[in-house]
Every structure is written in C-alpha cells, then in structure tokens.
Amino acid sequence: MKAMVLSGFKPVEERPLRLQEVDLPVPGPGEILIRINYCGVCHTDLHTVEGELPKMALPRIPGHQVVGTVEQMGEETSLFHRGDRVGVAWLYSSCGRCRFCRSGRENLCQEAKFTGYHVDGGYAEYMVVPENFAYELPDDFPDEQAAPLLCAGIIGYRALRVSRIKPGEKLGLFGFGASAHVTIQVARHWGCQVYVFSRSEEHRRHALKLGAYWVGAPNDMPPEKLDSSIVFAPAGEVARQALRVIDRGGTVALAGIYMTPIPELDYEKELYFEKALKSVANATRQDGVEFLKIAAEIPIRTDIQIYPLEKANEALLDVKHSRINGAAVLKIG
C-alpha cells in the first residue's frame, strides 16, 4: 500500500514525509482493517514530524483524523462488518485497568497509545485499529467533512468542558484554526458569546462569518471580561494573555498538545481571584461519542481544503503558516 512515511524529524519546509510502498497491515484479535478514504491534517501532526513531541519511534506514518470503511475483521470482533464506515481518532488504545481508565479518565492512562504517534496512522491507504476505539459516524457527514471532527472537533469539545463554560456565557478563543472553527459552532449552539483572538485578518473574518461576537488580535483587550477562554495557539505568551481577559473565577483551558514556555505570571493581575489554568490532555472515547451526537444535532459544517495524499508536506506547511481557513484534509483514494 502507499503511505507518507516519516523517517527523520525535520522542519516541514524540508519535506520530511516520503511517499513509499509499505506492507499492508493485518488485523489481529479485536482489530479491524480500514481502507482509508480521507485523513485530516492536524497541528499535532506538525509537531510530530518536526520532532517536538517525545518518545516517538521511527519510521512512522502520521495521521489521526481517519475516515474509511471496514475492509477486514480480525478474530474476536463483533462491532463492525465489512463495508461499515468508521472513524479513528487520536486515542488508539488504553489499558482499561489503571485507576484513570477505571474512573472514566482513559485520556490520562500511562499505557495509552495514540494514532500516528505510537502506531501508524492515516496518511496511508490502510490502517488497523482496535474495534473498541473506532467510531460509528453520523450519516449526515460526507467523509471529507467528517475527518476534522475526529480530533479538531473532539479536542475542541473537551476543551469546552475543561473551560467550564456555561450556556449563555462569554467565551474567548485564542487562535482560529481547524479546532476553533468547529468549537465556535458548539459554543454558539449553546448560546455563548464568542470572542476570537487571532493574528490572521482572514481568520478573524472567518470567525465573524461563523458567528463570533467580537474579533481582535491576540494582545487586544475585549470590551468586557470573559467567563472562560480556550487557547489553541501553541504560544505560552498567549496563555498569559488569556488569563488577563477572563473575569474572577474564570478558567483558561490550554487545548494544544505542545506549547512554548509560559512566561512568568503576575499573581495579582493574572491569576488571583480564583482564576484557573488547566491543560487539555487528549480525550476519552466518551468525549467522542458525545461530541459526534452534538455535531449531528447542530449540524456542524467543517470548512476544508483537500490535498492528495502525496501533498501531505504541502498541507502541513499551509497549517504551519496559517494559510487554511478551517481544516486541511488528505484525500487518500
């Protein structure tokens, strides 16, 4: 099968992914083989190929927003049948035994594996996944529209929960890429006023189109204090600014898997009065199930830019330089 393979960490400008012929994976017990139709391109993929995430063995096939059809079932499978449409997200497996898994926090499992990071992912024609970690997708979403929901959407939904935002409150979004353009649709569905902070004038226009109440640059002060904020930008300075714009008792959720160091905080100005700063670490399968149900109810519409599989480096470069309104998606077939 064809796949875009990472054999060495490099800046994406140096085209670290190479199109190669690799062996077709074989599903083991409890696993299914998926013929991939589309795979979303995530900012996490960029951190992966540029070597900013630790403990990743090479070579590796990135990609964790996978939409495809079941081609083959391994032994001891019962949830899906050949031809079923399924999705695969970032969480590939967890141990199911530890205190985190037993308490509904499998996203914190120390033995968890992640798609396109610990195991080969979706920048390929086929992949295998434990059937218990594959998602049934709502019928209303075409494959290419569904792909960004599987990370950009799920992580954005968990970030909303971690931010403790309530319906009708004021929410800030720092950075307006793939995840934020889905998250704003959920927040608007809940009746929230959404304030968007972005360096990109084009992204600010996109936010207004999707119902933002106010838009500005990352260092701008909104006209009023906010109840919660979510930081999608991987810059520590932005996290500090997000603390400045929330009101007493507010929460800032950091939605990225990677962030540059957060500068020293002024306790009185930026953290006092019971403000909270929380990270978002991965997501659980329950997050995915809840989010996909809400996505179908709204219904969410993803803005996408499609690239052929062999143009994965170009897609990542456009993600790096914020040249995409919405999400990049690879067409595999």
Domain boundary among 279, 295, 318: 279
The pTM score is 0.95
Cβ neighbours around 222 below 10 Å, total: 19
Same domain, 72 and 140: yes
User: What are the pLDDT digits (tens) for 249-258?
Assistant: 999 999 999 9
Same domain, 242 and 184: yes
Per-residue model confidence (pLDDT) at position 168: 97
Per-residue model confidence (pLDDT) at position 54: 84
Same domain, 25 and 144: yes
Same domain, 187 and 121: no
CATH code of residue 250: 3.40.50.720
Give CA angle at 17 (232, 302), nearest 5°.
Answer: 40
pLDDT for residue 86 is more than 90: yes
Same domain, 40 and 170: no
User: What are the pLDDT digits (tens) for 159-180?
Assistant: 999 999 999 999 999 999 999 9
Cβ neighbours around 16 below 10 Å, total: 22
Same domain, 63 and 14: yes
Same domain, 113 and 223: no
Same domain, 113 and 157: no
Omega before residue 299 within 30° of 0, cis? yes
Mean of the pLDDT values across residues 297-319?
A: 97
Per-residue model confidence (pLDDT) at position 333: 78
Per-residue model confidence (pLDDT) at position 250: 98
Q: How far apart are CA 90 and CA 246, in angstroms?
A: 30
Give CA angle at 192 (187, 193), nearest 5°.
Answer: 115
- Counted domains in the chain: 2
Same domain, 6 and 142: yes
Per-residue model confidence (pLDDT) at position 280: 97
Same domain, 179 and 96: no
Domain span at 170: 153-279
Same domain, 107 and 191: no
CATH code of residue 41: 3.90.180.10
Work out the mean pLDDT of the chain and round it to a whole number: 97
pLDDT for residue 38 is more than 80: yes
Same domain, 158 and 261: yes
